[in-house]
Structure 1
Amino acid sequence: MPTTPVTTKERSAVRTLLRLWPYVRPVRARLFTAAFVAILASCVGLVIPLVLKWMVDGPVSERDPAGVWLGALYLLLLGLAEALLFGLRRWLVARPLSHVEAEMRAGLYRHLQRLPVAFHDRWASGQLLSRGTTDLMLLRMFLAFPLTFLLVNGVTILVGVIIMLLQDWTLGLVILGPAVPVIVMCVVFEKRYAEVARRAQDQVGDLTTVVEESVLGIRIIKGFGRHRSQARAFRELSWTLRGTELRKARLLAAIWAVIVTLPEVAVGAALVVGCVQVADGQLSAGTLVAFLSTALALRWPVESIGFLLAMSQEAATATERYFEVLDEVPEEGAAHLPAATRADQRGLLFDGVSFRYPDAPPDSPPILDRIDLHILPGESMALVGATGSGKTTLTALVPRLHEVTSGRITLDGADIMAMSREELRSTVAVAFEEPTLFSASVGENVLMGADDTAGTPELDRALSVAQADFAHALPQGTDTQVGEQGLSLSGGQRQRLALARAVVGRPRFLVLDDPLSALDVHTEAAVEAALRDVLAETTALIVAHRPSTVLLADRVALLSGGRIVAVGTHHELLRTNAEYAHLMSGADEEAHR
């Protein structure tokens, strides 16, 4: 199952989390205010033991009912103040943190659109989805709770310890006894939990990938009766994730046991020592009550350390995973190369073009090797070759879905590397063999290939060229939603809509990757007849497998072994090139089956 490898290098959780600062900075005022309010609320809670001391040593010992009622009023007011302050803190962080999450998700999406196709070929879609959903949810939870309460609880513990030491320093030292072993356990726990948290979040990405592929490929799964094997694969991944989550739970249980048990033992020891001191008259009962009340008030801040550290490590891992994507280098812009303008370079020119995939071994042969091909202005060139010869890869180089390894490609004398991608892709239109439609209306899918000013006339013309007038007969016409991946339509319908999208903008250059492969013979003939008028107005490169598609072109280029080995008309190559004649004879047989 494709996944992103687990990061094994040492990292600092604090340094990793600091990368969130640019997103947090715009809302820092409310977050700092919320933290201050939470600290104030905790300090209000620590005043309650002091009121108890006053009540026990004063009204209670003096048998003063009025004083007791006054003390009860003080306690009620302090409790209400603490509750209101914590409520205010939650209100302060809710809106800004939802804004931070939305900004980070939008930034991730924008960056994904700018990353090269090679990146998307390497990464499993589920890993990207989990980074945009689960990981960002973990970061929002961290900013809302652990980030604040690591500070708040730290201040609360510090203030509480000072209060206890001021009450009685000997009891304070008893309470502080477990501090060293607790700190050591926290350091060990943090390191181990970070590794397991990373593994769990990567496994969530793997599981998301399986779910997505199963949903998109449900027809294949049902068609081949593979639901049991898919369910088995999903169950295995689920159990693997379960095991990782159980290990996280065991680590959290271990640190929780230490953090809860040792302070409880210390409180018990302080209670015994304190009672002895009260019996000996060395300590007032009120002081002992205040001391123990303060110690009990610090239970949650101390016990939450493990929980907060765990959430912080998960947030650090989520931050690391998020920035693994954002640190990927996006597609480069124009290289500002001098543009050639010689007349013999008009049209579409491949000049010594070679291509090797970026992750291929350096000593591996290139997919394309020194391609030289010139398509004249207004000319249509069919590209023919055996399966795996590199035809689709060559067409992907024109809109810079992949970058040439060496050589250059020019459009009307302008090197495509000197053009911005926006300019290039507004000049070149593409239609791929595997048509991709989006969860939008038919009209929106087609007009994606034109500028924002295109409307109904352009849409109707493109549908007519592609013989996609069936769109008007859909329940809501061209406003009909086609559904995810367009699977509510047939393969031929999807391919015709993809072709309409390619021609709707009247592009200067047109790249078609076997655009008619899913059409029946009669529809193919109608599309070809309409397409001839479009091809007369543009410079086109057409990947073709059928003789009928080849005949749309003015000339044919034969790609073999990563090289252009022959160029001519269809009839010339049939007479002079045995490989071409063999390919076309196979296509003829296929067409007659």
Structure 2
Amino acid sequence: MRTPVVVQHQNSQLAPGETASFRQTIARLLPQIRPFVPRLVAGFLCALGAGIVALTIPQVLRTMVNSVLHVGGSTSDVWISAAIVAALGLAEAVLVFFRRIFVITPAARIETNLRIRMYRHLQRLPVAFHDKWGSGQLLSRSMADLGLVRRWLAFGSIMLVVSTVTVFVGLWFMFTSSWLLGLIYLVGAIPITIRAFYFRNVFRAASRLSQDQAGDLATNVEESVHGIRVIKAFGRGGQALEGFGVRARQLRDTEIKKARSLSGFLMLVVSVPEITLGAGLLVGIWLTARGDLTVGDLVAFFATAAVLAAPVEGIGMLLGMTLTTKTALDRHFDVMDTENTIDSPADPVTATRGEGRLSLRRVSFAFPDTRPGAAPILDGVDLEVEPGETMALVGITGSGKSTLLQLVPRLYDVTGGSIAIDGVDIRHLDLDVLRSTVSVAFEDTTLFSSSIADNVLLGANLPRGRDPRLALDEALEVAQAQFAYALDDGVETIIGEEGLSLSGGQRQRIALGRAIAAKPRVLVLDDPLSALDVRTEEAVTERLRSVLSGTTTLLVAHRPSTVMLADRVALLRDGHIDDVGTHAELLARNAHYRYVIASLDEPPTVEDVLQSDNSQGNRA
């Protein structure tokens, strides 16, 4: 299973391995919050007002008990007091309503902005990043974690502050009723405060572990669903279930540990105030009996305590929610802090419409995680592909052919040397310009859950006025993908996730059509016809020659039939180009080339060689 790369929080200036504080994490969120501050402040004031209004009701009760509920008291005063309490209750409900109205929209917009911003960043990050991160981890960070952030902004952050302020205001009211009873209640905060420091560290660690495990579990589900045919074909459903069960139980254990930590803290938060209230009741009755405390003051004190019960209990849950949100934001910034090492230059070269000459000069490449001292995959590759030429790239398995092709559109960057198109280093070109100049089709095709037309026209930059249907028809005809018209909805047929409803050969032809529709100057093909029969492959190749006659093509070939249809062949060996020539020339002079060809799927016959040699001579 892929594991997340460890990144340094470069924007927060943290040392490697250092954890951001809550203040540092929230400070990084402020630029997203700032446009919505007025509405969030209005929501906070409404919530605070609702809490204050709730605390004024006990004070009305104190006045009513002290001045109305005695011999000779006025009945009208009772009705007035009841009306005041009812009005305060209505005011509290209205304030709660407006609090939700003010904060829900900003919180949802902040969540959406963060999600779009993260998706944009993921699109720009190099392929090397996606090679190491599990898709479930990225999914959980962009969906579940940001959902936590939204709920905390709309409710948790506001109510945590409001509850804290409410508790302090309530304590002040308690002290005005009786300083001794207020002091007894306040003493109960000491064990809660001490426990809170320990709870914060334990719960934060458990929250981070839980979220990471949930991401790993999501990755496991996604990989199992995508590979369900392989799992079924090899009868490994039980093994897959066992592995999933282990991860699911690990997540369960972590969630239980987190829940126990929170429940233990909540037990303390709820029980200690209740115990102090029991002690306060005994002292309060004693003070009332002595005449040092009025009945109204005693009623107000315990009514205020009843109002504070919900905020005090809620502080524990809100603190847990805040800590969970903090870890969610840390996970979000783990991704956002990953540096994009492949980007457009600050001052890109203005590209002109050239012939499409592809030049590789002393190209070297090693993956970022290659251990020190290990030989690079590519080491000093020199290759010149002439404009309009089709160059086949061959070599033994693992020689770096596919890796070399991915350097041309800068899916990876060279670690040494340079690649140029029409004499311009590709690192000096704007990425969008480069990737509209170079079109790619991979052996491992990736299609999207959309229509065939949308998949084929994905990379097409059609001139103004050109009918998309004409470009689509041409691409499908060249790729020999006319089967699309016979489907239930024709080219508008939705092909399903990753195109798995199609056969391997159909998927490859759709992917090739996508590369053709882009009308590139340089076409890079990573054996995109491996699932086709030889005749279909030859038909596709011949149509490519006529339609893209001016397109420079570099293709990885794993079959002799593909090799013989190229103008020239480059032999990749030990990280560099060992020889370049026609298929017949390399067969005649290079023993390693003969070994590579012999190891391919379809050894060529003498007639194949003669036909290839004659066709290449005619083209020359």
- TM-score for the superposition, normalised by structure 1: 0.96
Summarize the Cα distance change of 1:437–1:591 in structure 2 as closer, same or farther, 3 Å threshold.
farther
Q: Is the 8 A contact 1:6 1:198 kept in 2?
A: no
Question: 1:217 Cα deviation (Å)?
Answer: 1.1
- TM-score for the superposition, normalised by structure 2: 0.92
| CA distance in structure 2 between the aligned counterparts of 1:34 and 1:335, rounded to whole angstroms | 43
Which residue does the alignment assign to 1:562? 575
Question: 1:306 Cα deviation (Å)?
Answer: 1.5
| More displaced 10-residue stretch of structure 1: 521-530 or 16-25 | 521-530
Q: Is the 8 A contact 1:532 1:552 kept in 2?
A: no
Which residue does the alignment assign to 1:306? 316
Which residue does the alignment assign to 2:47? 38
Corresponding position: 1:56 with 2:65: yes
| CA distance in structure 2 between the aligned counterparts of 1:158 and 1:293, rounded to whole angstroms | 15
| CA distance in structure 2 between the aligned counterparts of 1:37 and 1:574, rounded to whole angstroms | 83
* Match 1:251 to one of 261, 264, 269: 261
Which residue does the alignment assign to 2:2? 2
Question: 1:132 Cα deviation (Å)?
Answer: 0.9
1:400-479 alignment runs, 5 A limit: 400-453=410-463, 455-479=468-492
Question: 1:380 Cα deviation (Å)?
Answer: 1.2
| CA distance in structure 2 between the aligned counterparts of 1:307 and 1:231, rounded to whole angstroms | 35
Summarize the Cα distance change of 1:583–1:10 in structure 2 as closer, same or farther, 3 Å threshold.
closer
List gaps (5 residues or longer) in structure 2: 8-16, 606-620
Corresponding position: 1:200 with 2:213: no
* Match 1:140 to one of 150, 160, 165: 150
* Match 2:201 to one of 182, 191, 194: 191
Which residue does the alignment assign to 2:612? none
Q: How many residues align?
A: 590
| CA distance in structure 2 between the aligned counterparts of 1:301 and 1:294, rounded to whole angstroms | 11
Corresponding position: 1:222 with 2:232: yes
Q: Is the 8 A contact 1:449 1:503 kept in 2?
A: no
Which residue does the alignment assign to 2:94? 84
Which residue does the alignment assign to 1:482? 495
| CA distance in structure 1 between the aligned counterparts of 2:66 and 2:5, rounded to whole angstroms | 63
Letter in structure 2 aligned against 1:210: N
Corresponding position: 1:150 with 2:163: no
| CA distance in structure 1 between the aligned counterparts of 2:601 and 2:108, rounded to whole angstroms | 60
| More displaced 10-residue stretch of structure 1: 154-163 or 396-405 | 154-163
Letter in structure 2 aligned against 1:54: T
Q: Is the 8 A contact 1:336 1:417 kept in 2?
A: no
Question: 1:363 Cα deviation (Å)?
Answer: 1.7
Give the superposed CA RMSD.
1.9
| CA distance in structure 2 between the aligned counterparts of 1:293 and 1:282, rounded to whole angstroms | 19
Corresponding position: 1:334 with 2:345: yes
Aligned identity (percent) is 50
Q: Is the 8 A contact 1:346 1:412 kept in 2?
A: yes
Question: 1:451 Cα deviation (Å)?
Answer: 0.7
Corresponding position: 1:11 with 2:20: yes
Which residue does the alignment assign to 2:13? none
Which residue does the alignment assign to 1:273? 283
Question: 1:388 Cα deviation (Å)?
Answer: 0.4
| More displaced 10-residue stretch of structure 1: 62-71 or 544-553 | 62-71
| CA distance in structure 1 between the aligned counterparts of 2:115 and 2:525, rounded to whole angstroms | 34
Question: 1:5 Cα deviation (Å)?
Answer: 7.2
Corresponding position: 1:29 with 2:42: no
SS in 2 for 1:440: coil
* Match 1:72 to one of 77, 82, 93: 82
SS in 2 for 1:393: helix
Which residue does the alignment assign to 2:397? 387
Per-residue Cα deviation, 1:513-569 (whole angstroms, up to 9, x for no partner)? 111101123322321221222452211111111121112211100001111101110
Q: Is the 8 A contact 1:164 1:294 kept in 2?
A: yes
| CA distance in structure 1 between the aligned counterparts of 2:356 and 2:409, rounded to whole angstroms | 17
Question: 1:231 Cα deviation (Å)?
Answer: 1.3
SS in 2 for 1:402: coil
Letter in structure 1 aligned against 2:523: L
Q: Is the 8 A contact 2:115 2:146 kept in 1?
A: yes
Summarize the Cα distance change of 1:287–1:591 in structure 2 as closer, same or farther, 3 Å threshold.
farther
Question: 1:588 Cα deviation (Å)?
Answer: 5.6
| CA distance in structure 1 between the aligned counterparts of 2:588 and 2:601, rounded to whole angstroms | 16
Letter in structure 1 aligned against 2:187: G
| CA distance in structure 1 between the aligned counterparts of 2:101 and 2:535, rounded to whole angstroms | 65
Summarize the Cα distance change of 1:384–1:335 in structure 2 as closer, same or farther, 3 Å threshold.
farther
| CA distance in structure 1 between the aligned counterparts of 2:143 and 2:311, rounded to whole angstroms | 30
Q: Is the 8 A contact 1:509 1:539 kept in 2?
A: yes
List gaps (5 residues or longer) in structure 1: none
Per-residue Cα deviation, 1:346-368 (whole angstroms, up to 9, x for no partner)? 71000010001112123211100
SS in 2 for 1:196: helix
